[in-house]
A and B are shown apart, each in its own frame.
Chain A
């Protein structure tokens, strides 16, 4: 295991009496691409700003490389931030923007000039030194914001929804760019986004957050394939989340039909939630399926067809390369490995805290 670089310990923070973070604990490793993922208001940006030093937690400690930096002002911290909407200095040209941090540290001019050249090359904007920020496109401004941060050689780069203002195509290009940058620089990236696809594409580790609590920490594969609760399952990708009853180990009743599964240890006749990804629902002829239904919607999506199938009183979302016209009688079959069983939350509050332990 790589060395731990940042430890957030029991961090709580509220704004105007509203609790935004509640005793949050998180460890971040060296050279990790970690993404804080969640809907707006989940506390992800606050968590990032606490690390950057722009928000002081009400309670808890921030440990950086073994040292307590909780009360250290942002200018004394060895991390740099790429802000939402870039926050470039509009009264300075690109070179001055990038040189800002180095000039503050009184680096020699030749060193600064080299760094500017290097940084612009790194973000593919060579020759832009004398341009003004306003004259650049959103994507270019974003690259400058990154260049401005990395010339200071931070150990950690904090990125606050940096691609939010860009259009889809550019966003996808920038995702690859960011992965490349991270590998070239060999530093830790902490990335905040509400875009699950972005998180799945780039991250080593994803931290799913909701209402001030961490819902699940894991690799993109784990988060996607084994969501620990309905919130994570619903937030990450499309999914069918269905009320079910765990009859016994490895056997679950979904909509009154028995399905084999691989999970154990939930007890007998216990109500549970079941997650089945749309691409894991197999459509067959009615006789071959465990459950019978009718196709009610059909959309061609390019890679696959997206269908809705009414079966057992539930509208199943199905992704398949095979096309079944609307009105077709079909059977539904699911591989036991693709049925993900989750405990039902006992209360609203439980839903949020459920998997903290």
Chain B
């Protein structure tokens, strides 16, 4: 018994050290920099800077776009997951694969490819023209950013929802039908509530990266549209004001933590995991 304990400590020590050095301390440093000024004195200025007109605008825009893309991801992913779940029970790994596969082509290139597709003389407009439909001019607008977000993060919504759907015992659905519920009632009262952990997990997985992205906005939004991610990135890489960058990040982290807490409450058993 005692021997076990020592082995356990020996096994866990390196990892606990790793976690501390590379996860906890760095996060602590963000807080340290965010709550001090250049002289090292405590200040809330960096955090409160979020309320300035320019930063607030970026934050609200980020929230708006990420909420919109999360909603669209949900609306696209849920029916898709239902169809996939009904198709064949034993295709699980294949379906995961199909959504992971695009990641093997560089994320930046894939997003850039949308420029080619969306441009005024791009592929999509050629097709629309051919079909005698009005052309689509969304490149360098918030709509293009939303599209980029949905494109990049849709798999993060599909996989947890799909997983929670295939986990439902088909007899539970049968039982609802047996007790007199029609298909719609069965969905509302049984299927959807049972997939809620997956949905919440999907929402977290889409909302957080969408809220904090600076790449998608840079690639598809032109240079005019600034999201909060772009603001923070510029503070670090161009302006060199780590204190301000960290302060703004703290505000962002409040959103993220709020999001994580909600998903933790709904997903006690880890049912909504992606894999």
* A85 lies within 8 A of B179 (CB): no
Check B172 for interface membership: any CB of A closer than 8 A.
yes
* With known contacts A74-B174, A90-B194, A91-B194, A85–B180 Cβ distance under 8 A: no
Contact partner of A87 among B171, B185, B189, B193, CB < 8 A?
Answer: B171
User: What does DSSP make chain B's interface, helix, strand, loop or mixed?
Assistant: helix
The residue on B at minimum CB distance from A101 is B179
A152 closest partner in B (C-beta): B179
Nearest CB to that of B193 among chain A residues?
Answer: A91
Q: Smallest Cβ distance from B266 to chain A, in angstroms?
A: 11
Which residues on the A side are within 8 Å of B196 (C-beta)?
91
CA A100 to CA B169, docked complex, whole Å: 17
Q: Which of these binds chain B: A75-83, A110-118, A232-240? A: A75-83
- The CA-CA distance from A89 to B174 in the complex, in Å, is 11
Bound-state CA distance A87–B182 (Å) is 17
Give residues of chain A (69-110) contacting chain B, Cβ–Cβ below 8 Å.
Answer: 73-75, 77, 80-81, 83-85, 87-91, 100-101, 104-105
A97 to chain B, nearest CB (A): 9
Question: Is A85 within 8 A of B175, CB to CB?
Answer: no
- Please determine whether A104 and B181 come into contact, CB atoms closer than 8 angstroms: yes
Return B22 CB to nearest CB of chain A, in Å.
38
Closest chain A residue to B182, Cβ basis: A75
Cross-chain contact B171 with A104 (CB below 8 angstroms): no
**Which secondary structure dominates where chain A touches chain B?**
loop
Closest chain-B Cβ to A137's Cβ sits at a distance in Å of: 18
Q: Tell me if A54 is interfacial: C-beta within 8 Å of chain B.
A: yes
Contact A54 B181, beta carbon cutoff 8 Å: no
Chain B 175-189: CB-based contact to A (< 8 A → 1; otherwise 0): 111111110010001
A52: chain B residues at CB < 8 Å are 174, 178
Question: Within 8 Å of chain B (Cβ to Cβ): is A148?
Answer: yes
Docked-complex contact B180 and A81, CB < 8 angstroms: no
Answer yes or no: B260 CB below 8 A from chain A CBs.
Answer: no
Among A95-147, those with CB < 8 Å from B are 100-101, 104-105
Q: B178's contact among A74, A84, A88, A91, by CB below 8 Å, is which?
A: A74
- On chain A, the residues within 8 Å of B176 by CB distance are 89, 100
Q: Which residues of B contact A100 (CB under 8 A)?
A: 176, 179, 181, 189
Query: How far, in whole Å, are A88 and B172 apart by their CA atoms in the complex?
Result: 6
